[in-house]
Structure 1
Amino acid sequence: MTSDTTQRSASFQLILDTTEQLVKEKGCRQTTLQDIIDRTGLSKGAIYHYVSGKDELFGLILKSKAEQMNERFQAAVAGTVGPDAVPPIQTITQGMIANTDKNDVGSKIFIYLLSQNENPKIAEMLTDLYNFSLRMATSWLEVGQKAGAIPPDIDANRAAAIFMTFTYGIRVQNVIAGDMHQALQADEVFRVIFRSLL
């Protein structure tokens, strides 16, 4: 027998997964709450129990992706012996590259929300997401400093802000340039990040 909390969590995860799949298939603008209702089989009330609209749902998908990246980073750190910065930085790099691909759902949602930034609710959501991601990246650098893999004199907050700028820039470049440029490879991004930290 499942508890109400477990059932609610399963329903919410179904909503997130379904929305992500619909964005892959249709894009952000063409995905509607009615599509989500039809695909999940949940009622409109069940959807509105979790979110006020599809834009909030899109923001929660981006936050979920950031949390997943954090889990991968923590696993890489746990598996690292001694002050070796390579595995955690490779994990961050792989996540950055995957999240900046113009066909990635996260990139599609990010660009869509960015285009709606004049809406105060969306602007607040993007600011909250940025601050969440900045705190997460800062904590990664602090973990590296405590382990002795990253020099202690590096300002973790400033370095995290630079990485955020780098990541956002790659996302926008990949959308605007399309196939006109050669996409950055994970090893190129890794070298830039690694050199900047050591």
Structure 2
Amino acid sequence: MTQSTNTNPSFQLLLTVTEQTILELGCNKATLQEIMNRTGLSKGAIYHYVKSKDELFSLILEARMQSVNEKFHAAVNQAKPGELIGPLQVITEGIIPQITDEKDVSNIIFVYLLSRRDDPRIQEILQRNHQYSLELAVKWIQIGQQYHVIPEHLDAHTVASSFLLYVYGLRVQRMIVPNASGVDGRQLFEFFYRTLRVT
């Protein structure tokens, strides 16, 4: 997702209306035709951004991660030297609602795409989304290392992979057992804070 696309009003309208449509109708009934009707955008305008509704759904997941990323960078810029708490809180506060609320649009999309992973196009979308999330997580850890708040000996890729494994696990758990007493934002924050402060 490019910066120009990210801030384009038509693109933002497309994402917002698609989210609302999914919440109202579910992923199966949220057709591109329904989204065109609701946005007033032409088929050509939508196909300028995506080739399918599944790709559009994936862009919503990316936009959610990009929003967390932007808030993370803002927190890093405001943090005192050597401070990890603020930026890490931004990440956990941005991600926890997405993965623990089974009615959150990102969970609805995730389950929908995961249920269709036998389709090679969907598998590619899932892999691309995973790679995007992994690259962001690696960058977050590397920034922490550059600011000397995360030990340099920690392998950023390994820690980021563990973070995503934990997040995916929580997401799937909440889909299977919505009322399970699980990890909340504070607990996730403390877990990753302890992990990243290991010396």
- TM-score normalised over the length of structure 1: 0.92
Opposite residue 131 of structure 2, the aligned amino acid is N
Instruction: Tell me the residue number matched to 2:142.
Output: 142
How many equivalent residue pairs?
A: 192
Opposite residue 154 of structure 2, the aligned amino acid is I
Unaligned runs of 5+ in 2: none
**Does residue 46 of structure 2 align to residue 47 of structure 1?**
yes
Instruction: Tell me the residue number matched to 1:35.
Output: 34
Instruction: Tell me the residue number matched to 2:104.
Output: 104
Instruction: Tell me the residue number matched to 1:12.
Output: 11
Give % identity: 43
Equivalent residue runs for 1:102-141 within 5 Å: 102-141=102-141
SS in 2 for 1:31: coil
The CA deviation string for residues 60-98 of structure 1, in whole angstroms up to 9 with x for no partner, is: 111111111100110111110010111111111112211
CA root-mean-square deviation? 1.6
CA distance in 1, matches of 2:175, 2:31: 23
Instruction: Tell me the residue number matched to 1:195.
Output: 194
Instruction: Tell me the residue number matched to 1:160.
Output: 160
Instruction: Tell me the residue number matched to 1:23.
Output: 22
CA distance in 1, matches of 2:153, 2:188: 22
Instruction: Tell me the residue number matched to 1:92.
Output: 91
**Does residue 194 of structure 2 align to residue 171 of structure 1?**
no
**Residue 183 to residue 25, structure 1, CA distance change in 2 (3 Å):** farther
Distance apart, 1:58 and its partner CA: 0.2
Runs of 4+ in 1 over 3 A off after TM superposition: none
Opposite residue 194 of structure 1, the aligned amino acid is Y
CA distance in 2, matches of 1:149, 1:157: 17
Equivalent residue runs for 1:66-85 within 5 Å: 66-85=65-84
SS in 1 for 2:102: coil
SS in 2 for 1:178: coil
